[in-house]
Amino acid sequence: MPIAQFQERWGGAKVVVFGELFDVGEVMTAPRAGASGYLIKKLSLEALVYSLRMVMIGEVVVPTQFVINMVKESAHLRPNLSVRARDVDLSLRELQVLQYLVTGETNKVIATALGVTEGTVKVHVKRLLKKIDVTNRTQAAIWALNNGMGVEADSRAHISDTPGDPVYCDLL
């Protein structure tokens, strides 16, 4: 049954497509067909629950690798480039948090890696979003990549780069 037909029958239900492997074509097709996201079946239970919560509040969920590929291949996806890295005074902690956002990590993972509370991570995220003038975590990650702030291997010691890890996006 097509997604639109399913949603019509079930009162606008949110639909998430699950794939065996990361497939760019499927990731792009799912939201166009009306899905609220695309996830890899091998997600941890924590990531799955968090992803579904994000879908329930209206976010579109896609694998981190998809967003990274979009940034590398699409010049038109550029959030507020009027704010340049050299014009922004981010603290060391905000830069660390931004590096984790680039890989799509959850606040809980970031908090554990940095040895702070999730509430503290939320404060850092909110401040850095305001400083770089973007509205969500995905736009912050794209901004960071566009401004040459790719994540260095040494600083990612605690970050998973599993292609199926989700990222939360409202750009699609």
Q: What angle do CA 30, 60, 138 make, to 5 degrees?
A: 120
Q: Does domain 85-162 have CATH number 1.10.10.10?
A: yes
What pLDDT score does 75 carry?
44
pTM over 0.75: no
- The answer to whether the 3-73 and 85-162 domains have the same CATH topology is no
Question: Could you state, in order of their start, the residue ranges of all structural domains in the chain?
Answer: 3-73, 85-162
Residue corresponding to tokens 């503290």: 120
Amino acid letter, residue 149: M
Torsional class of 86: left (φ above 0), alpha (ψ -120 to 50), beta (otherwise): alpha
Non-local (6+) Cβ contacts of 75 within 8 A are: none
Question: Tens-digit pLDDT profile for the chain (172 aa)?
Answer: 678 888 888 887 888 888 887 777 777 778 778 888 888 888 788 888 888 888 888 888 887 767 666 666 554 444 444 455 556 788 888 888 988 888 778 889 899 999 999 999 999 999 999 998 888 888 888 888 877 776 443 333 233 334 444 443 333 2
Domain 3-73: CATH superfamily, name plus number: Response regulator (3.40.50.2300)
CA dihedral 24, 78, 91, 98 (to 10 degrees): -10
